[in-house]
Amino acid sequence: MDILKLSIQGISHSITRSGAYALILEEIITKTKLPVVIGSAEAQSITIAVEKDLKAPRPLTHDLFTSFIKKMHYKVSSVLIHSIKDGIFYSEIHFENGEEKIVMDARTSDAVSLAIRFDADVFTTSEVLEIAGIKMDLSPESGSVSDESLEGESVKNINEDNTLPENDQDDVTLEIMDFTKSSAEMGIKIPDLSEDQLNLYLSMAVQNENFDLAIELQEELINRFPKQD
């Protein structure tokens, strides 16, 4: 099992889930994105931790726990996102004080928030990245289709609001699709998409930083083509 270092790229607001955000992590070598759905409170805490000049009027929960850890003469040395099950990431926080090391189970959002406050590294496994990672460079060599492979294709019928008729999704071109919108707003039914379309739309969603749509497409790929042990 390979351990891979992640960087924190930012937070994207969900356009379909009220009060939800996507924490965007990125593997530093391959640039594979790892989006994690988090709540508004966690998004606020992470944002304040990243933006060093932002200060909450009163200590947030993560600030309070950070102070407690330091008072006990410990620090967060690293965070590991070690597995994913049913779309939920499982993480652990590694603490140390120079003599003793402690590992605690934690929600990924909490673990990352503390890691930022201690300038600790965040890692994941190659297995997690393979299952839930989103690659920007999708090519025929990787078993996916490229943007060029759809050039010149035509659309049979387009509704006046630029959504697709239910039976005409196979002939869609990228030019008339707004990948900043949700799947419902785009008029596409994700379960009806082919594997090539799922991969292509996933690439376009990531390029447009629509990680809410990207997560939805990624989950469909995972459910339809589960990894074989």
Closest Cα to residue 215, out of 192, 187, 182? 182
Answer yes or no: are the C-beta atoms of 138 and 145 closer than 8 Å: yes
Closest Cα to residue 183, out of 13, 38, 15? 15
Residue with the larger pLDDT of the pair 22 and 89? 89
Using pLDDT thresholds of 50, 70 and 90, give the confidence band for residue 176: low
- β-bridge partners, 115: none
pLDDT tens-digit map of 90-113: 999 999 999 999 999 999 999 999
Answer yes or no: are the C-beta atoms of 4 and 13 closer than 8 Å: no
Closest Cα to residue 194, out of 172, 165, 177? 172
The answer to whether residue 17 scores a pLDDT higher than 90 is: no
pLDDT score at 53 = 76
Closest Cα to residue 50, out of 42, 59, 38? 42
Residue with the larger pLDDT of the pair 7 and 13? 7
Residues sharing a CB contact under 8 Å with residue 27, sequence separation 6 or more, in sequence order:
4, 5, 6, 34, 124, 129, 133
Q: In 3-state terms, what secondary structure has residue 146? A: coil
Residues sharing a CB contact under 8 Å with residue 103, sequence separation 6 or more, in sequence order:
92, 93, 94, 95
**DSSP class of 9:** E
Mean pLDDT for the stretch of residues 116-139: 85
**DSSP class of 44:** H
162-to-40, 117, 172, 187 alpha-carbon distances in Å: 32, 45, 11, 8
pLDDT score at 22 = 85
Q: In 3-state terms, what secondary structure has residue 49? A: helix
Q: Which residue type, as a one-letter code, is found at position 62?
A: H
pLDDT score at 74 = 97
pLDDT score at 45 = 92
Using pLDDT thresholds of 50, 70 and 90, give the confidence band for residue 14: low
Residue 190, number of CB atoms within 10 A of its CB: 19
Closest Cα to residue 132, out of 28, 40, 216? 216
Residue with the larger pLDDT of the pair 185 and 1? 185
pLDDT tens-digit map of 185-229: 878 888 888 888 888 888 788 777 788 788 888 888 888 877 655
Closest Cα to residue 205, out of 185, 227, 222, 223? 185
pLDDT tens-digit map of 150-175: 333 333 333 444 344 444 444 444 54
